[in-house]
Every structure is written in structure tokens, then in C-alpha cells.
Amino acid sequence: AQSVTQLDSHVSVSEGTPVLLRCNYSSSYSPSLFWYVQHPNKGLQLLLKYTSAATLVKGINGFEAEFKKSETSFHLTKPSAHMSDAAEYFCVVRADRGSTLGRLYFGRGTQLTVWP
């Protein structure tokens, strides 16, 4: 079975400071992992994805994430926060095998607040 745990429900940073959103995953095999962002009253936008290629994945808007198998982690980072980064972020694991092939499993989300 697949699952993800987002370790922080809320993260607050000042504009221009680094962002770290933490995610641990559980999977019986090497999974596909994603980070999505959801702005208020908007749908989900894909930030980046890991699909067993390079372990350091670069996404849109300066975000990146590192897949660490030994730690079962896929933390999202950004060197310098911008006010427009304030949103809800979801870590997601995709079932790549079996009867649930293609199904996405979402974490509970991390609300990022950026202070001026």
C-alpha cells in the first residue's frame, strides 16, 4: 500500500528566506512521487515529479525536491520564498503497480504562509 505523511500542517517563513516542506512516503516499491500546489479557490498544479530518474528534481517557480530512499523522504525546498508562494502544498505518491495502478494518494497538505 502507498501513503504519504506531511510532517507539518503549517509552515510560516519570511519573504526571501528558505522554504522546507517535509514529506515521508511509504511504498512497497520505488514509487513515483509528486508535489502539487493549490492556491485559494484554484485547482491543483503540478510543481514537480520524481519517476526513478535523477534523485534531485527541479520544478517550476524555483522549487526542487530530493528523493532519499534510505530516509523514505521527498522534501520540497526553495532557496528564497516569494509572497506568491503562499498556498497549500500536497505531497503525492502514485501507485505504479497492481490493482490500484495510476491512483494518487495525497498527504493532508501543508499550508505555507509567507510574511513580508
Whole-angstrom distance between the N-terminal and C-terminal Cα of the chain?
41
For residue 92, which phi and psi values (nearest 5 degrees)? -135, 135
Nearer to other proteins, 36 or 73 (CB): 36
Beta-bridge mates of residue 20: 77
Q: Applying CB under 8 A, does 30 fall inside the site for other proteins?
A: no
Q: What is the CA radius of gyration of the chain?
A: 14
Other residues' Cβ atoms within 10 Å of the Cβ of residue 49: 16
Least distance between other proteins and beta carbon 116 (Å): 25
Site string for other proteins, 32-71 (x = CB under 8 A): x-x-x-----xxxxx--x-x--------------------
- Positions that interact with other proteins (CB under 8 A): 32, 34, 36, 42-46, 49, 51, 90, 94, 99-109
